[in-house]
Amino acid sequence: MSDPVNSISEWLRTILSGWGLSEGLITVILAVLGVVILATIVLVVDIMLVWIERKMVARFQDRLGPNRVGPFGIIQPIADVIKLLIKEDILPDGADRFIFNIAPIFALATVLLLWAVVPFAPTIIGADINVAVLYIVAIGSIGTLAIIMAGWASNNKYALLGAFRTVALLIAYEVPMVIALLVPVLLARSMGMQTIVAAQSPWYIFVVPLAALILFVSSIAELGRTPFDISEAESEIVAGFHIEYTGMKFGLFYAGELLHALTVSALIATLFLGGWRGPFVDQVPILGPVYLFIKAFLVYYLIMWVRYSFPRIRIDQMLGFNWKFLTPLALFLLVVVAILDKAMVGVSQVQYVLVMLGANLLIVWGTVIILRTYARVERKRVGEERAVAIAPESDLADLVGQE
């Protein structure tokens, strides 16, 4: 009872070997079964996410949200899926048929692949590989590929523009994200997810809160959500890379986007909020997934909160924010954490955590001062009187001279 997943797997193994199947074949069957079950659970959660997201955005915007289909509108996503399924499937003129069709599959599949390394409980994990953190980065880069394929194959200039913007964004924000991911790796001395979770006493958010914040911000950018949603800025490029997609192909992009948000939340929860750790989880491993999902939904709520509270920023501001601010900050933090970690060999855990936390807060304080100075300069620059019309240099001099 304490560990249902492994006992069920053992039970199935006994039954299958009773049928006279070979050991290797049983392992393959059980692995496939596990993949199918995990993917199904995740996709069912994904359908519910549509409802959660729509209900939450309605609350943030002082509306009621879906409330017609079923109690509290909870059947609404099913109705949405049926609508998407019976819509006409359009292939745009001049589109690259194969790439156009395969891109949405890639978009959803890459998100599903990420769940392979999320540990649900001490004994329940898809694959406890020793390069899990790098694996997350690798799968993220395949997601980029799906977007560029969709944008190019659509044969539409808005789609291509959206894809270009997204890829510039994804490649840029990958840098601070990877550096922020390195911090828990450095503290736990492993890239394996289970080791990182096991090493978290206390949770890393209390040790290196700044790394968690950087990861959170760059993850929002990776997700392409507001304030970083220039990839599908409706007022500029209509819908971005998925402009030409209809019906369930669009549905796959939509599902992938929502699920990506929850997946990233689960990863942040695993890396910084202790994953499956919680009271009594050692006695009852089945509590692990419950804790993990509670934490993941907490992070998901924060992502939604940011999404519906901030306006979109321009692409030059966004790239400038990444290269001039987030990346140097993340690098500086990594160096500081590495030096402190090396310097504090042998000190007690309480001292270690306090010094790390203090260093983090000190960096935050310094950053805020720098930002405030920059904001003052920028306000002054923007507030200056400037010639409005764009004129040749000589005319401009005349204009200024007349005043």
Contacting residues toward other proteins, per CB under 8 A: 24, 96, 99, 129-131, 134-135, 137-142, 144-145, 148-149, 152, 160, 164, 167, 171, 174, 191
**Least Å from the CB of residue 288 to other proteins:** 25
**Least Å from the CB of residue 348 to other proteins:** 26
Residue (99 or 302) nearer to other proteins, CB: 99
Residue (99 or 284) nearer to other proteins, CB: 99
Residue (146 or 214) nearer to other proteins, CB: 146
CA distances from 353 to 30, 160, 170, 185, 268 (A): 42, 47, 33, 16, 19
Residue (76 or 218) nearer to other proteins, CB: 218
Residue (93 or 385) nearer to other proteins, CB: 93
**Least Å from the CB of residue 98 to other proteins:** 9
Structural tokens at position 381: 């620059």
Residue (144 or 219) nearer to other proteins, CB: 144
Residue (21 or 79) nearer to other proteins, CB: 21
Residue (131 or 368) nearer to other proteins, CB: 131
Structural tokens at position 122: 């001490």
Burial of 324 (0-12, 13-18, 19+ CB in 10 A): exposed
What's the CA gap between 390 and 209, in Å, rounded? 46
SS3 of residue 64 by DSSP: coil
Answer yes or no: are the C-beta atoms of 117 and 132 closer than 8 Å.
Answer: yes
**Least Å from the CB of residue 191 to other proteins:** 7
Structural tokens at position 196: 């990182």
The sign one gets for the Cα dihedral 30, 32, 33, 39 is positive
**Least Å from the CB of residue 111 to other proteins:** 16
Main-chain dihedrals φ then ψ at residue 125, nearest 5 degrees: -155, 145
Answer yes or no: are the C-beta atoms of 252 and 105 closer than 8 Å.
Answer: yes
Structural tokens at position 364: 């935050």
Burial of 134 (0-12, 13-18, 19+ CB in 10 A): middle
**Least Å from the CB of residue 177 to other proteins:** 12
Answer yes or no: are the C-beta atoms of 179 and 329 closer than 8 Å.
Answer: no
First to last CA, the chain: 85
**Least Å from the CB of residue 178 to other proteins:** 9
**Least Å from the CB of residue 174 to other proteins:** 8
